[in-house]
Amino acid sequence: MRRSTQRARRLVLGLFITEALHPFKVFKTAGFDVDLVSETGTYQPDWLSQQKDWLPAEDRAVWEDHSSEFRSKVDKLLKPSDINPDNYGLFFASAGHASLIDYPDAKGLQLIAAKVFTNGGIVSAVCHGGAIFPGIIDSSTGKSVITGRKVTGFTTRGEEEEGVLDTIRSWNRPTIEASAASSGATYVSPAGPWDAFTITDGRIVTGANPASAHVTAEAAVKAFNTL
Backbone angles phi and psi of 83, in degrees to 5 = -130, 160
Catalytic residue among 159, 177, 214, 218: 159
Assign 133 to helix, strand or coil: helix
51 in helix, strand or coil?
Answer: coil
Residues 166-205, buried b or exposed e (16+ Cβ, 10 A)?
eebeeeebbbbbebbeebebebbbbeebbebbbbbbebbb
Which one is catalytic: 19, 22, 39, 127?
Answer: 127
Nearest CA among 147, 150, 83, 76 for reference residue 111: 83
Q: What residue type is 88 in one-letter code?
A: Y
159 assigned to active site: yes
Please pick, among 22, 97, 128, 214, the residue that the annotation labels catalytic: 128
Tell me whether residue 39 is one of the annotated catalytic residues: no
> Hey, which residues are catalytic here?
127-128, 159
